[in-house]
Amino acid sequence: MRPLFYQYSNDTSAVAVEDEYMWGDNLLVAPVIKKGLSIRSIYLPEGKWYDFHTGNEYPGKNRVDFPLTIYDMPVFAKAGSFIPMTKPLISTDNYNGANYVVRYYPEGKSTFVQYEDNGLNSKSLKEGKYELITYKGSKNNAKTTVSLTRTGKWENMPATRTMRFEIRMNAMPAAVKINGKSVKITAETGNTNDAKTTCNFDNKWLNISFSWDGKPVNIEIANQ
Q: What is the CATH number of the domain that holds 50?
A: 2.60.40.1180
Together in a domain, 16 and 107: no
Domain end point (choices 30, 51, 77): 77
Q: Is the dihedral of CA 51, 52, 56, 60 positive or negative?
A: positive
Please count the structural domains in the chain. 2
* Model confidence at 192: pLDDT above 70: no
Q: Which run of H or E residues covers position 14?
A: helix 12-15
Together in a domain, 20 and 71: yes
20/92 Cα distance (integer angstroms): 27
94/101 Cα distance (integer angstroms): 17
Task: Report pLDDT digits (tens) over 17-27.
Answer: 999 999 999 99
Together in a domain, 111 and 209: yes
Together in a domain, 42 and 133: no
Query: How large is the average pLDDT for residues 75-92?
Result: 93
Together in a domain, 117 and 94: yes
Domain end point (choices 40, 61, 77): 77
Q: What is the band of 67 on the pLDDT scale with cuts at 50, 70, 90?
A: very high
Higher pLDDT, 188 or 149: 149
Between 108-112, 177-181, 202-206, 212-216, the lowest mean confidence (pLDDT) is in 202-206
Domain that holds residue 93: 82-222
Together in a domain, 8 and 118: no
Domain end point (choices 77, 96, 119): 77
Task: Report pLDDT digits (tens) over 108-134.
Answer: 999 999 999 998 899 999 999 999 999
Higher pLDDT, 39 or 187: 39
Together in a domain, 137 and 187: yes
- The residue ranges of DSSP E strands in 140-203, in sequence order, are 143-152, 161-168, 175-178, 181-183, 198-202
Side-chain half-sphere CA neighbours of 127 within 13 A? 11
Together in a domain, 121 and 210: yes
Together in a domain, 150 and 88: yes
Together in a domain, 159 and 193: yes
The side-by-side arrangement of strands in the sheet containing 109-116 is 109-116, 131-139, 143-152, 217-222, 175-178, 181-183
pLDDT for res 96: 84
Together in a domain, 89 and 178: yes
Together in a domain, 173 and 206: yes
Query: How large is the average pLDDT for residues 60-80?
Result: 94
- The residue ranges of DSSP E strands in the chain, in sequence order, are 21-23, 27-29, 39-44, 48-51, 57-59, 62-67, 75-78, 82-85, 99-104, 109-116, 131-139, 143-152, 161-168, 175-178, 181-183, 198-202, 205-212, 217-222
The verdict on pTM exceeding 0.85 is yes
**Side chain identity, residue 104:** Y
Query: How large is the average pLDDT for residues 192-211?
Result: 85
8/68 Cα distance (integer angstroms): 25
